[in-house]
A = this chain, B = another copy of it.
Amino acid sequence: MAERLGPPLDEPIFDELAIIGIGLIGSSLARAIRKQNGARWIVIADASDETLARAEALALGDRYTADVTEAVRGADCVLLCAPVGATGAIGRAIAPALKHGAIVSDVGSVKGAVIAELEPLLPTHAKLVPAHPVAGTEQSGPDAGFATLFVNRWSILTPPASADAAAVGKVRALWEAIGANVEIMGAAHHDLVLAITSHVPHLIAYNIVGTAADLEDVTQSEVMKFSAGGFRDFTRIAASDPTMWRDVFLHNKEAVLEMLGRFSEDLTALQRMIRRGDGDGLFDLFTRTRAIRLGIVAQGQETAAPDFGRRGPGENAPGRRA
């Protein structure tokens, strides 16, 4: 997977850009936008004094403030990078201070609920262009971010029907400048797609780790020691930021419950196959699922190295075959 940024822009897209919330995604954006010359001036706001001080120590922006209203006053573009649950409060705080014609965008993993909250709050002169970069790691906070996080990843824009075309173009250009591929779709469809590719996978990872933690006949020490059989991969996903994920499930309730319902139906069918000893049925499913993996690798969204490339190269190591 290519993970290098291209050459920086000759001219910045925005004069002043405000990032509200400087966690994993916000700080990766600050680093990438700075590196690619996406904005002349970066203002950083965060509700936590500690996080803000850390952002300043890392020199992620040009100005730092705990006051979101103050942060957006001169911004041509405002990027909301706080957990989705804070959208309403931030929207109310920034609305009266927004510069005329300012673009307001975000990075929330849920789009329908964010638009429903923001649209009625923002002044009519502001231009809403919601976005969601499908990228991240299980780590959190400004130290966890890095400039190449979005390279070769998809950023989905879900502009409302009334969206300003020039504003959509600028937001697209910003994501492309930091290495992302851009796709445009409706918010409802986004929420359904992400429910299956991200939200339900996180939910079942959290769930199985919880189940394992509560067992009485298997100790936690045993779970940890023998986790290399598959379980440890779920624990990585289940180590993601709890606040962010709580908000995702509360704000994409309908699509998550819909996809979870299908998952559970399918699991019941699989359970029945095991109970009845239907080896052919199991084999059939286990064969079909390989095709999707191959497609993901072919599309550059994954490394083909076994075990996620955890193993270093060595004699007879996979990937070094002639």
Contact = CB atoms under 8 A, between A and B. Distances in A.
A3 B306 contact: no
Interface residues of A, number: 123
Count of chain copies:
2
Contacts of A97: none
Contacts of A221: 295
Contact of A213 (B224, B289, B294, B310): B289
A40 interface: no
Contacts of A287: 242
A89 interface: no
B211 A146 contact: no
A96 interface: no
A212 interface: yes
A257 B275 contact: yes
A203 interface: yes
B238 A236 contact: no
A47 interface: no
Contacts of A209: 289, 292-293
Best-surrounded residue of A109, A143, A200 (most CB of chain B within 10 A): A200
Interface string A278-322: 010011011111111111100101110011111110111110010
B224 A299 contact: yes
A215 interface: yes
A132 to B, nearest CB: 9
A2 to B, nearest CB: 11
A310 B309 contact: yes
A66 B253 CA distance: 56
A207 interface: yes
B143 A228 contact: no
Interface of A: 1, 3, 31, 35, 58, 85, 109, 134-139, 143-148, 153-154, 156, 183, 192-194, 196-215, 217-218, 220-240, 242-243, 245-247, 249-250, 253, 256-257, 259-260, 262-264, 266-267, 270-271, 274-275, 277, 279, 282-283, 285-296, 299, 301-303, 306-312, 314-318, 321
Given A137-B307, A225-B299, A242-B286, 7 more contacts: A3-B311, A193-B223, A199-B229, A232-B302, A235-B289, A242-B282, A303-B310
